[in-house]
């Protein structure tokens, strides 16, 4: 505690013996022993009190950390669920776009064929009308 070795204690004991005398030294030693005992007890009580407070605080902190972890896990789950929902919605939209695109393509091809067919029949009709016109002239 005070880093006092055996030689220092012997010197202190000899000085105390010379100063106080052999009659008062046992009383002083007894009082000093009781004082040190009370001091140790007080220090032990303080240490236990600090350790209890530390444990309480630590448990409160652990509970708070556990609650935060649960909240984070819940939020992550919600985000994952939202991501899955968005992904499935995007897949549905993609399928709809592909279906609509195919339908539009078919419509365009059909319209193009109709236009070609009308163009060919129109030129045949134009050819017939010019033949009819030449026959009428002759």
Task: State residue 91's pLDDT score.
Answer: 95
Task: State residue 89's pLDDT score.
Answer: 94
Low-confidence ranges of the chain (pLDDT < 50): none
In a domain, 15, yes or no: no
In a domain, 69, yes or no: yes
Supply the range of the domain harboring residue 84. 59-121
| Total domains in the fold of the chain | 1
Task: State residue 107's pLDDT score.
Answer: 93
In a domain, 28, yes or no: no
Q: What is the pTM of this model?
A: 0.45
DSSP conformational letter for 135: H
Task: State residue 18's pLDDT score.
Answer: 83
In a domain, 89, yes or no: yes
Task: State residue 3's pLDDT score.
Answer: 76
Rg (CA), the chain: 53
E strand or H helix at 2, and its extent?
none
Give DSSP secondary structure letters for 10-56: HHHHHHHHHHHHHHHHHHHHHHHHHHHHHHHHHHHHHHHHHHHHHHH
**pLDDT (tens digit per residue) in 71-85:** 999 999 999 999 999
């Amino acid at each position: 505690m005070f880093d006092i070795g055996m030689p220092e204690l012997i010197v202190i004991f000899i000085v105390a013996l010379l100063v106080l005398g052999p009659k008062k030294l046992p009383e002083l030693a007894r009082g000093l022993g009781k004082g040190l005992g009370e001091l140790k007890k007080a220090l032990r009580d303080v240490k236990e009190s600090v350790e209890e407070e530390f444990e309480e605080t630590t448990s409160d902190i652990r509970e708070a950390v556990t609650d935060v972890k649960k909240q984070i896990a819940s939020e992550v789950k919600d985000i994952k669920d939202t991501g899955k929902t968005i992904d499935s919605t995007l897949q549905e939209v993609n399928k709809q776009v592909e279906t609509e695109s195919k339908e539009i393509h078919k419509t365009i091809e059909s319209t193009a064929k109709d236009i070609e067919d009308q163009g060919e029949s129109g030129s045949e009709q134009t050819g017939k009308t010019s033949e009819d016109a030449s026959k009428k002239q002759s």
